[in-house]
Each structure stands twice: as structure tokens, then as C-alpha cells.
Structure 1
């Protein structure tokens, strides 16, 4: 990657709506002409990235250091690593020039601005504080100095455009 790119993190409890919200924001920003990269944290290693029994799955589980699955419209790379953080992922694996990188998760990583998703039905308090890098909340009820309606992702996309994409905040 040749240029510095702004990076933000969207965090929250399990099943808080992070992925759905991020998907909508990516669609909005992409429709506005921006290139967006996404990094999803799977801290427990439960995400199914390939179908058991298929070739790439079998090769990776046989011990390959890396397996690249090439399709007509995408390339998926499985890389065996021992330790990493978001800055490693950005430097080593984001291959295209993009306008913004949205990270889902990595709530304990200190080097990005964080926005926490919290919904009324969760009946909980915030996981993060300003000391953890919390900038704002994405919510349907929670009062915070900077909050975005979870049902209006276009407002958050506009905020990202103004405060991140068109500035020099990056990892």
C-alpha cells in the first residue's frame, strides 16, 4: 500500500449489530465512490472461512503456511501466523490503495479511534471509555457526547467522510 490510510474501529458486545452496521456503511461509502477495506477480528477463531473438506481447507489444515484461493472475482488468502495486531494487518495484507479501513473488533488495541455499538435490548453499559480510545457510540438509545443512530448509517458514513477520509488520521 503506497499511501497512509485512515483507520477506525467499530467495537461492541457479541451480537450487538456491528457487522450489519459496518456492511451498510461500506455500501454507502462505496456508492459515494470511496474504496473501503475491512478487517474483522475473530478472537476465538470460530469464523468459518472455508468449507471443511474443500481443497483450500484441506491444504491449510495439512499445515501449509499460506493458502491462496483464486476465483474470478476475488482472492482469499489464508496465512498461518502466531501473533498480530491491526497495524500488522494493514501493513502486510491491505493490498490496494483504499480511502479508509474499517476494523471490526480489536477493542483492546490502542492505536485507532473506536466507535462502540450498543443497543437498548442489550441492557448493558459501554465496554470502552475515552481512555480506551472511544470516540463515539452507534446506538438506538444510549446518551453520549458523540452518538450516531444505528438506524441511520448514512450519518456515520458522512461523519467518516468529513473527519477521516478527507483528513490525515491514520494508523
Structure 2
């Protein structure tokens, strides 16, 4: 069995986490021919699943665990909290797991910032992805944190391939 890797992305709202994850995932899939799994944390329960009145919405609204499958996708609706291991097992086979949010998970973490860095994230980050809106010399970056270019997905992918956690 080949090794599976996992890495997490954190940062404030509108910092570019989802955009970066999508760019990285597309390149890993298309350029590197890898299978990618993504977990997105929705801490405020703002995600919308389907449309009221449709069958999948009605089923999910019952409070039951629901899987909706079609020729092109399968969507898992759960009404209960799942631990990371349970969620990972739902994916089956993959090469790289990208996790957005969940800053307390024991995974190597890339923190993403634009305009200003919240130094409260320093204890949780292994890498820092920023763009031109940040003047890094304004901050006392921890020694063990690697600096990445937010607008260079290849730079981020190289870091992931060298630093991601190997899952059992």
C-alpha cells in the first residue's frame, strides 16, 4: 500500500484558504496524477446542502445519516460529529488529504494570510503562505515556520510533499 499524506490549512475568513486548496488540489490531480481528498470545516454551520423541497434536502432534514449518489458524485450528509479517522475512512482510497480549518488536528499546517498576520496562529503553523500585501519584516516569525508564496501553488505543493503527515 502506498503512503497517504495529510496537511491542514488555516487562516481567517477571506484569507484565500479555499482558493489555495482548490488550486493545489487541481494541480495534484492533473499534473501529479494523485487522488485528493478534501475535508472542509464549517464551524458556523453555514454550508447549504441542496435546495429546500428537493429529495436530498428532505432526507437530510430528517436528521438521518444520508448518502446521495449519482453517476457523477456521492454526497455524504451527516447529522452527527465525526472524528477525523471516521471521516477519512469515508473517502476510501486517496493519496493526499487536504483539510481546511480544524486547527487543533495533529497535522502539519499551512496558515494563510493577506493584509495582516494574526500572530495567535503562530503556535499552530508549520508554514506561512502570504502574498505581496504582507510585509514579513513587520513580524517576528518563529524560526521553524517556512515561508510560502500564496500565489504559487507549486511552491505550496512542494512543501506539502516534503512535510505532510503520513497517515497510517
Q: TM-score range by the shorter chain?
A: 0.7 to 0.9
Secondary structure of the 1:73 match is: coil
List gaps (5 residues or longer) in structure 2. Answer: none
Secondary structure of the 2:15 match is: coil
Cα distance in 1, alignment partners of residues 49 and 3 from structure 2:
28
Question: Deviations 1:97-144 (Å, cap 9, x if unpaired)?
Answer: 2111000000123x1111100112xx34234223x3x10111113534
Matched, 1:30 2:25: no
Alpha-carbon RMSD = 2.0
Deviation at 1:3, TM superposition (A): 6.3
Equivalent residue, structure 1, for 2:147: 147
Match of 2:85 among 84, 87, 93: 87
Matched, 1:115 2:110: yes
Length, aligned pairs only: 158
Cα distance in 2, alignment partners of residues 68 and 85 from structure 1:
18
Cα distance in 2, alignment partners of residues 19 and 38 from structure 1:
10
Cα distance in 1, alignment partners of residues 58 and 28 from structure 2:
36
Matched, 1:99 2:123: no
Deviation at 1:53, TM superposition (A): 1.5
Secondary structure of the 2:53 match is: coil
Deviation at 1:29, TM superposition (A): 0.7
TM-score by length of 1: 0.82
Q: Is the 8 A contact 1:12 1:127 kept in 2?
A: no
Deviation at 1:159, TM superposition (A): 2.2
Equivalent residue, structure 1, for 2:16: 17
Equivalent residue, structure 1, for 2:74: 75
Cα distance in 2, alignment partners of residues 76 and 112 from structure 1:
25
Equivalent residue, structure 2, for 1:6: 5
Q: Is the 8 A contact 1:26 1:36 kept in 2?
A: yes
